[in-house]
Amino acid sequence: MTTWNLIRSDQLCTAGETRLGYCWTEGADCCGRLCREKASCSYFLWDSTTFECWQSHAGSRDCDSGWIEARGVSFYALEGDRTPFTWSLVHKHAECASPDMALGDGLASTVGECAFRCDALPGCDFFLYDERGGGCFEEYTSSADCPEGLQTWRRYDFYALLRGSAAPIPLAERWSCVGPAPFPGEAASSAPRRTSTCFEYHAAPKRSWVGSEAACLSRGMHLASVHSAAENEVALSLCAEECWIGFTDRQSEGEWRWTDGSRDGGPHPWSPGEPNGQLHETTDGAYIYPLRAGLDSPGSRDDDFVNVSTAGPAAGHVVERAFLCRHDFRAAPRPP
């Protein structure tokens, strides 16, 4: 376990270029988190009047040339073994958060300070940080399954905790939303509640249509239904390959409907010759794919639309693909 001990409060050596950052709320705890991010930092200084945090010069009061004596600061030393870890920027997407999930006061001067706050909170392995506004929030989940009351905020960077390894965290899914809640500071507090639609993309492991629907159901969702051009655009942005969607005629051959019960075909045009309704198909489901230049007919509006095709596997063969899940939730209004 890594802890920081206060050694003494007197004059110590520091230098401007060794400033680690500013810690407004957690103070020394935040400063310790910033120091621990640096492989060579085992001592730090924190000034409770200016909120500045510096890496200390080897814990010595014998200042080398170019270093100055810093008075009125507290000197901390690292005790115990370091726990190797890092925070990795996973993606820039809309994510789920809530004002009630603010880390500290919801503001942080650096991403390191925000990371410290998450690290100090049991169970916090994901956080959101807004570099421009300093917003700092615990992430609800690494998926798009946002329950009622959580806001979907864009422009926040999504970070994940990597313990004991510098390798990127293997997140199989990514997601984005249609109709996000107002970004903090960009809408009036009287903004009405409105429904947002999130699509969650799963690239691995690939599954059959039935397996994909089961995976979505286990996360409180269905395979994605797509009912508008805006939703279609988001679906296309997520699916760089063939993706199962929730369009099926499993209940009645030739009668296609979405897994949410609706029957409209949405903005997707059928590929030439589809739906073909081949009797040997083992999965009566549809998938979407980006248009391929020179190979596919244009979409109903422009070439950025996707085409829909039936599963069409050879007899007895189950096709496995990436898939899209969908979740609709009501975005909470900003508090007054």
The answer to whether residues 74 and 145 belong to one domain is no
Model confidence at 217, pLDDT cuts 50, 70, 90, reads: confident
The answer to whether residues 55 and 97 belong to one domain is no
The answer to whether residues 234 and 304 belong to one domain is yes
The answer to whether residues 53 and 157 belong to one domain is no
The answer to whether residues 217 and 313 belong to one domain is yes
**CATH number of the structural domain spanning residue 243:** 3.10.100.10
Average pLDDT on 71-89 reads 43
Give the number of other Cβ atoms within 10 Å of residue 228's Cβ.
13
Residue 265 confidence (pLDDT) = 57
Q: Find out whether 173 and 203 touch, Cβ atoms under 8 Å.
A: yes
Give the number of other Cβ atoms within 10 Å of residue 219's Cβ.
16
**CB proximity list for 186: less than 8 A, separation 6 or greater:** none
The answer to whether residues 141 and 165 belong to one domain is yes
Lowest-confidence region among 9-18, 52-61, 75-84, 149-158: 75-84
Domain span at residue 130? 85-171
Model confidence at 96, pLDDT cuts 50, 70, 90, reads: low
Model confidence at 225, pLDDT cuts 50, 70, 90, reads: confident
The answer to whether residues 203 and 165 belong to one domain is no
- The pTM assigned to this predicted structure is 0.43
Per-range mean pLDDT, top range of 121-130, 133-142, 170-179, 241-250: 241-250
In a domain, 43, yes or no: yes
Pairing relation of β-strands 222-223 and 321-331? antiparallel
The answer to whether residues 94 and 75 belong to one domain is no
The answer to whether residues 56 and 97 belong to one domain is no
Over its C-alpha atoms, the chain yields an Rg (Å, rounded) of: 26
Residue at token pair 């085409």: 307
Last residue of a domain, one of 79, 113, 140: 79
Last residue of a domain, one of 50, 79, 108: 79
Q: Find out whether 195 and 330 touch, Cβ atoms under 8 Å.
A: yes
State pLDDT tens for residues 296-318.
443 322 222 344 444 444 444 56
Residue 145 confidence (pLDDT) above 70 = no
**Alpha carbons 95 and 154: distance in angstroms, whole number:** 7
In a domain, 242, yes or no: yes
**Count of domains forming the chain:** 3
Pairing relation of β-strands 321-331 and 243-248? parallel
In a domain, 186, yes or no: no
Model confidence at 214, pLDDT cuts 50, 70, 90, reads: confident
The answer to whether residues 43 and 61 belong to one domain is yes
The answer to whether residues 68 and 10 belong to one domain is yes
Last residue of a domain, one of 60, 79, 98: 79
As given in the structure block, the two tokens for residue 136 are 């700092």
**CATH number of the structural domain spanning residue 119:** 3.50.4
Reduce the secondary structure of the chain to three states and give it as a string. CCEEEEEEEEEEEECHHHEEEECCCCCHHHHHHHHHHCCCCCEEEECCCCCEEEECCCCCCCCCCCCEEEEEEEEEEEECCCCCEEEEEEEECCEEECHHHEEEEEECCCHHHHHHHHHHCCCCCEEEECCCCCEEEECCCCCCCCCCCCEEECCCEEEEEEECCCCCCCCCEEEEEECCCCCCCCCCCCCCCEEEEEEEEEEEEEECHHHHHHHHHHCCCEECCCCCHHHHHHHHHHCCCCEEEEEECCCCCCCCEECCCCCCCCCCCECCCCCCCCCCCCCCEEEEEECCCCCCCCCCCCCCCEEEEECCCCCCCCCCEEEEEEEEEEECCCCC
